Amino acid sequence: MNIGLLISQGLNPLRLTDSLEAKIRRAEKGYRRKFGRQPDTVHINPAVFKDSGIEQVGKIRVIPSQYISPGDLWIGVEEDA
């Protein structure tokens, strides 16, 4: 994935307690609103990935990526190889 929407949870105390699935669903809505298409991939920090045990949310594949900070999500459409 080369282009996507980076969602930063920042220090908003209302967002820190949300489940990973809720964060991904919210990011999915934001992506669809901004780009008009359904995302199929979300990249998250490997430690968050390991702790969550989630590999898919709906039709969105969850992928660990060392380049994503804990608490952030990078959501978009995976390009064909």
Length of the chain: 81
Instruction: Note the pLDDT of residue 79.
Output: 79
Structure tokens at 56: 């898919």
Residues 60 and 28: beta-carbon distance below 8 Å: yes
d(CA 43, CA 31): 14
Instruction: Note the pLDDT of residue 77.
Output: 95
Per domain, the residue ranges of the chain are: 4-76
The residues, ordered by sequence, that sit 6+ positions from 18 with a Cβ below 8 Å of its Cβ are 26
Q: In tens digits, what is the pLDDT along the chain, a chain of 81 residues? A: 888 999 887 655 556 667 889 989 999 999 999 999 999 999 999 998 888 889 999 999 999 999 998 888 999 999 764
- Looking at the DSSP bridge assignments, the partners of residue 64 are 44
